[in-house]
């Protein structure tokens, strides 16, 4: 029963982060497009952007495969449509749980994020390592993300604790207890964290 609840929680966590990941990068894209409009790029740049956008729409309409998207990104990598195509490849990888594709695309994803929100692709990278069984590398990234103040910090702490349950239950318990001390009584994570602390302490006594 607890494993089912844990699995459901992880699925909700994954969905939540994916929604925010896509939302934030789209906000960045809109912002950059506004800069283009107000700044007035040279004719060639405008023409290339328009041509790229038209071809990107065609890719969507014909439900193109990953190979076609990659070729498009290579051709128009410095355009806004190229950026959006990179996001499309990433979304396809996440939807299909294609770890190999995610590994190949996370570098490109990191390049198109401004430094202010670069913790999002880093978090995604950590999840890739975790799903691949490379726990040490995932823990290293999670710990580096804890040094940044971001809206996903509590999610990172939870992921770190859940991962440590597979490696070091005592360390996981410490992380949960520290997290619990910073949660209000109304916080949505509180019940889950209390449950994990209870389970780990019960295992220690048995």
97-121 pLDDT per residue, tens? 677 777 777 676 666 655 545 676 7
Q: What are phi and psi of 77, to 5 degrees?
A: -60, -25
Residue 106 is assigned to a structural domain of this protein: yes
Residue 110 is assigned to a structural domain of this protein: yes
Rounded distance between C-alpha atoms, residue 52 and residue 48, angstroms? 6
Residue 118 is assigned to a structural domain of this protein: yes
pTM above 0.75, yes or no: no
Residue 178 is assigned to a structural domain of this protein: no
Provide the pLDDT for residue 17. 55
Residue 161 is assigned to a structural domain of this protein: no
- Rounded to 5 degrees, what angle do the CA atoms 88, 63, 22 make? 20
Residue 59 is assigned to a structural domain of this protein: yes
3 state SS of 97: coil
> Can you say how many angstroms the Cα of residue 162 is from the centroid of all Cα atoms in its chain?
17
Asked whether the predicted pLDDT for residue 3 surpasses 90, the reply is no
For the ranges 65-69, 125-129, 192-196, the one whose mean pLDDT is highest? 192-196
Residue 40 — left, alpha, or beta (φ > 0 → left; ψ -120 to 50 → alpha)?
Answer: left
Provide the pLDDT for residue 41. 45
Residue 176 is assigned to a structural domain of this protein: no
Residue 144 is assigned to a structural domain of this protein: yes
> What are the residue ranges of helices labelled H in 40-79?
43-61, 66-75
Rounded distance between C-alpha atoms, residue 81 and residue 32, angstroms? 12
**Longest CA–CA separation in the chain, Å:** 73
Domain that holds residue 22: 2-151
Provide the pLDDT for residue 189. 84
Rounded distance between C-alpha atoms, residue 166 and residue 161, angstroms? 9
Contact 71, 91 (CB under 8 A): no
Residue 92: pLDDT band (50, 70, 90) is confident
Provide the pLDDT for residue 176. 92
Provide the pLDDT for residue 88. 78
Residue 139: pLDDT band (50, 70, 90) is very high
Provide the pLDDT for residue 89. 80
Task: Tally the domains of the chain.
Answer: 1
Both tokens of 91, joined, read: 């979304």
Rounded distance between C-alpha atoms, residue 182 and residue 92, angstroms? 36
Asked whether the predicted pLDDT for residue 44 surpasses 80, the reply is no
Across 40-44, 50-54, 93-97, 158-162, least confident range = 40-44
As a whole number, mean pLDDT of residues 46-55 equals: 81
């Amino acid at each position: 029963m607890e494993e089912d609840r844990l699995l459901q929680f992880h699925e909700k966590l994954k969905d939540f982060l994916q929604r925010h990941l896509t939302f934030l990068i789209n906000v960045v894209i809109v912002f950059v497009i506004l800069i283009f409009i107000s700044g007035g790029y040279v004719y060639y740049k405008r023409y290339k952007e328009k041509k790229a956008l038209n071809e990107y729409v065609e890719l969507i309409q014909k439900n193109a495969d990953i190979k076609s998207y990659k070729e498009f990104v290579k051709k128009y990598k410095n355009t806004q449509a190229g950026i959006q195509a990179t996001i499309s490849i990433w979304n396809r990888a996440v939807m299909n749980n294609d770890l190999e594709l995610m590994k190949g695309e996370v570098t490109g994803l990191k390049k198109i994020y401004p430094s202010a929100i670069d913790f999002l692709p880093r978090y995604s990278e950590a999840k890739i390592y975790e799903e691949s069984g490379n726990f040490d590398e995932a823990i290293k990234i999670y710990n580096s993300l804890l040094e940044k103040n971001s809206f996903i910090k509590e999610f990172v702490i939870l992921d770190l604790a859940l991962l440590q349950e597979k490696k070091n239950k005592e360390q996981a318990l410490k992380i949960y207890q520290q997290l619990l001390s910073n949660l209000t009584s109304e916080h949505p994570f509180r019940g889950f964290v209390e449950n994990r602390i209870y389970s780990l302490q019960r295992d220690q006594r048995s």
